[in-house]
Structure 1
């Protein structure tokens, strides 16, 4: 499969491929299992079969979906709609630099990671999201104050996700150093890093461009719920 075909529906190729064991659904539409990031994807981005996914969702549960902007079928409600950039790494291999206080995140850090994500809203996040790949965090006095990790993957593409910093510790470069450490790991594994950033988040978008990411596409992103 061509690389651009993977990127054009990266969530589906993730949920139906490497993350099939972390997801539930059918042969044409899937979602991350409860506890992971509440994201769905469909093989057909023009007309996802939401009726087939309904048995795997709770009434009122909010689910995120990218790459689809068609009519929302009966039994579902559109809660929010926006756009985001899908960016792909085009830079050199980052230097091996250790960030002060940096450490791997494990299951024991799940509650702290979820609390930080709820506070800073880096995107859809669940208590088990850190199980989807390598997650790194910076700690201050034993408290998690910044993190970045890996989520979706398909082919050679691996997503950088969950990037956030506690408001009291921003503007110190923590998240950037965590991201560069992950990018270095990915490139050494022969992977190509990519990420998503909301189009209206001009500060983060500019930072990622300066780091070495390039825009691949601008895609719709929605939040829907089952009635």
Structure 2
């Protein structure tokens, strides 16, 4: 169901608006099913219903809601997470960003002997209950949907600490524009996490190495390592390496 919701949301966003009949044909689902899906998406603020169809409420370049991204490419995200977890030694102090890929990193770290500060409530929930893990929680305001912790309290929490490794997600990453995010307060928290850490690992699906979002977080050279997958274009990887960043490619299963 979640893949169909994402398919509908992406199609309506690309077209601006679409009819129920066209969406039913696109998804090979019944019109009744599509209507239920549109109600779900309308409740998430993704689109607006009208008789016989829907129009998108997401602007170009705006972040797709967390719930719709949650199940996208899970197998790839778990391979990326396993690679990042293998780079972290027991006993490290680690700050883990929000987002769906970093949530998988948190799940991969949950059973480890580490001190971890998560930057979202989704990530914190993935870490909760680890028997050997020391879980630190920052202050801050939780962004609706994403539940990323932002604002002065979150930034002050990070400024008071020093980490061995920061694991940072991104909305876009290119050699020319660096690491970028959709949300300005989130970008500020990412920068604070990077300043507080000796090593910065960016983890992202390869497709994001061709994208640039609104808020600049850091130049590519500020990243010690980028962990990505084979969907990353060779030219984009080469440009990042030329900018001084090490790129580690995770093979398909």
Higher helix share: 2
Higher strand share: 1
User: Based on CA coordinates, which of the two structures has the bigger radius of gyration?
Assistant: 2
Comparing both chains, which one has the higher relative contact order based on Cα–Cα distances under 8 Å and sequence gaps of 6 or more? 1
TM-score, normalised via structure 1 length = 0.31
TM-score, normalised via structure 2 length = 0.29
